[in-house]
């Protein structure tokens, strides 16, 4: 399962994408919400919240639910312009910390 945060698919937020993935996987396994909850060791209410795209859920419970469905949550480095800029700032800070000059084109004396 690959869900992008900032680059939401068709305007859907991360919680909405997660909800759709969980609903689709549960349906493909022909499980009811109660059955899934029992298998995952979470409440039926929690399953309902995830499938409704609730913005705040407990991470450990979410991971148990995803594991039961055979899904995983991944965190990976973004390749967005903001992430590249942040990485560049960090690299420049490391150079300054070591006393090395900043080699970037927009470096100021």
Between CA 53 and CA 56 the distance in angstroms is 9
Between CA 106 and CA 109 the distance in angstroms is 10
Please name the fold of domain 9-69: 434 Repressor (Amino-terminal Domain) (1.10.260)
pLDDT of residue 89: 72
Does residue 21 surpass a pLDDT of 70? Answer: yes
58-76 pLDDT, tens digit per residue, is: 999 999 999 999 999 888 7
Tell me the pTM.
0.64
24-38 pLDDT, tens digit per residue, is: 999 999 999 999 999
* Domain residue limits, the chain: 9-69, 78-109
Per-residue DSSP letter, 45: H
């Amino acid at each position: 399962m690959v869900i992008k945060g900032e680059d939401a698919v068709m305007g859907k937020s991360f919680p909405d994408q997660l909800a759709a993935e969980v609903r689709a996987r549960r349906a493909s396994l022909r499980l009811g919400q109660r059955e899934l909850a029992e298998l995952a060791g979470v409440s039926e209410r929690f399953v309902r919240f995830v499938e409704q795209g609730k913005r705040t859920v407990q991470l450990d419970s979410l991971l148990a639910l995803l594991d039961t469905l055979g899904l995983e949550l991944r965190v990976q480095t973004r390749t967005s312009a903001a992430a590249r800029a942040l990485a560049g700032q960090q690299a420049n800070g490391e150079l300054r910390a070591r006393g090395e000059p900043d080699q970037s084109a927009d470096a100021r004396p």
